[in-house]
Amino acid sequence: MRTAPYYVSTLQLFFALLFCLLSLTRLAFSQEEQKEQALDPEKERYRSTLLFANILELIRDEYVDSEDIDYQFLTQSALKGMLSSLDPYSEFLDGEKFQDLRTETEGEFGGLGIYVGMKKDGSVVINATTENGPGKRSGLLPNDMILSINNVSTENLTLGDVIHKLRGPSGEPVVLKIGRSSIEEEVEISVVREIINVPTVLNTRILSSPSETDPLKLGYIFISQFGEKTENEFETALETLKEEKIQGLVLDLRNNPGGLLDSAVQVAGKFTPKGTIIAFTETRFEERKLFKAQGNTHYDKLPLILLINRNSASGAEIVAGALQDLGRALLIGERSFGKGSVQSIQPVDISIDPPVGIRLTTAKYYTPSKKVIHKVGITPDIEVNITRDNSDTIFLQQTAYRLPPNEKDKLLSIPDPQLDRAVAILKGLIYYYRLYAPSNSS
Catalytic residue positions?
A: 314, 325, 339
Q: What are phi and psi of 330, to 5 degrees?
A: -100, 135
How crowded is residue 139: how many other Cβ atoms within 10 Å of its Cβ? 13
On whether the CB atoms of residues 309 and 418 are closer than 8 A, the answer is yes
Cα–Cα distance between 277 and 122 in angstroms, integer? Answer: 47
Strands (E), 161-247: 173-179, 187-192, 194-197, 201-208, 218-223
Give Cα separations from 312 to 224, 244, 253, 335, 380 (angstroms). Answer: 10, 28, 6, 9, 12
Q: What is the CB neighbour count within 10 angstroms for residue 350?
A: 10
Q: Find residue 213's DSSP bridge partners.
A: none
Rounded to whole angstroms, how far apart are CA atoms 386 and 366?
28
Q: For residues 295 and 352, give the distance between their C-alpha atoms in angstroms, rounded to a whole number.
A: 39
CA neighbor of 304 nearest in space, from 220, 204, 222, 209:
220
For Cα atoms 32, 26, 24, give the angle at the middle one, nearest 5 degrees: 100
8 Å CB contact between 348 and 337:
no
CA distance 339 to 347: 23
Parallel, antiparallel, or unpaired for β 145-149 and 152-153? antiparallel
Q: Within 10 A of 78 (CB to CB), how many other CB atoms are there?
A: 15
User: What 3-state class would DSSP assign to 78?
Assistant: helix
**How many helices (H) does the chain have, and how many strands (E)?**
12, 19
CA atoms within 13 A on the CB side of 240: 15
Distance from C-alpha of 289 to C-alpha of 283, rounded to nearest angstrom: 9
- Rounded CA-CA distance 384/417 in Å is 8
Question: Whole-angstrom Cα distance, residue 215 to residue 33?
Answer: 81
State the Cα–Cα distance between residues 131 and 17, nearest whole angstrom: 87
